[in-house]
Structure 1
Amino acid sequence: MNVAIVEKNPVFRTSVRAMLNHKFHSLTPLETESLESLGEIAQLGIFDIIIIGLSEKDSEIDETVLKMVMEKNPFSSFIVYSSDPDHKQARSLIRIGVKGYLPRHACLAELATCVRSVFSGNPYLSPKIFVNLCYSKTEPAFI
């Protein structure tokens, strides 16, 4: 499985790679710090999964750039993890094609479950975010 990890923080990026290597033996991870720089390493091959990290400092994702990356990687599935998970952001990202969304503080087991689900072609939404999405009073509970 080829995985790209897009995360500004090199320590967190390395931690995600180490956790994934622990759970998946046939993993080929590549790391980069931004969606823009992903294009440079994308020439190295096709990614099965692209994992994008959002930090507290950079909690917003440029959906225009994300859509362009998705168009350039049509065979890749996308997972976003956020330090400040938001049901509105989750809904918006899922609508544009993100297959997995989980909080940055998710445990290794949840990250592995998300990757397995998305790699199998199924969507994954963290149960904590799903509950918030279902009980949102400002918008309908459906995505």
Structure 2
Amino acid sequence: MIRVLIADDHEIVRAGLRQFIADEPDIQVTGEAGSGDEVMALLRNAEFDVVVLDISMPQRNGIDVLKLLRQRFADLPVLILSTYPEDQYAINLIRVGASGYLTKESAADELVKAIRTVVQGRRYVSAAVAELLIGGLGKPTEQSMHQSLSEREFQIFCKLSRGQTVSVIADELFLSVKTVSTYRSRILEKMGMKTNADLTYYAIKNGLVE
């Protein structure tokens, strides 16, 4: 039996996923979390075969949780299920260590297929993500400037674009303020921008924040 942990801050979404999965004889939802901290707490006390993880969650967001999971539960498959389109987040999160990426508009049978795939130790890549991997990433454009960021840079970029201060980010990531400031400068330089407001505008324009 494949044991699934669903992490999403919307109860109605978790209920819908439970219903989809309930019809599958080999898959069972054995845990639910509404925040990043709840995910980590559940994983300390129970075993799961796969985590289905949303990006936008309170406390720790999905990007932070994914990074922690790769550090502490390196072999645990993590399937990202998000409202954000593939071209905005998929490549970066697969690079960070996600086992697959689906949007919430995906059909239920595709989610089931993705769960079975990642549990077997393989990556699940939708047709849209496969096209991105094959084609459009060689030449950075305004739509893909964030694709040039490293794993840590992308994590900090997402926080800056949501209005978090350098000191708050430093506390959350257990880094010094000086280190986060250095990352901020590097991000601005790579993306050809001057202020946090520029990052926020870019993120909103490109659907990276709600």
| 1:5, distance to aligned residue in structure 2 (A) | 0.4
Counterparts of residues 1-143 of structure 1 (less than 5 Å): 1-54=2-55, 61=61, 63-136=63-136, 138-139=139-140
Which residue identity lines up with residue 63 of structure 1 in the other structure? I
Runs of 4+ in 1 over 6 A off after TM superposition: none
Mark the CA change 1:26 to 1:63 in structure 2 (over 3 Å): closer, same or farther.
closer
CA distance in 1 between counterparts of 2:67 and 2:120 reads 22
Identity %: 22
How much is the aligned-residue C-alpha RMSD, in angstroms?
A: 2.3
Q: Is the 8 A contact 2:79 2:99 kept in 1?
A: yes
Q: Which moved more, 1:23-32 or 1:78-87?
A: 23-32
Mark the CA change 1:80 to 1:25 in structure 2 (over 3 Å): closer, same or farther.
same
Higher helix share: 2
Which residue identity lines up with residue 48 of structure 1 in the other structure? D
Structure 2 residue runs of 5 or longer lacking an equivalent are 141-210
Structure 1 residue runs of 5 or longer lacking an equivalent are none
Aligned length: 136
CA distance in 2 between counterparts of 1:105 and 1:40 reads 29
Q: Is the 8 A contact 1:17 1:29 kept in 2?
A: no
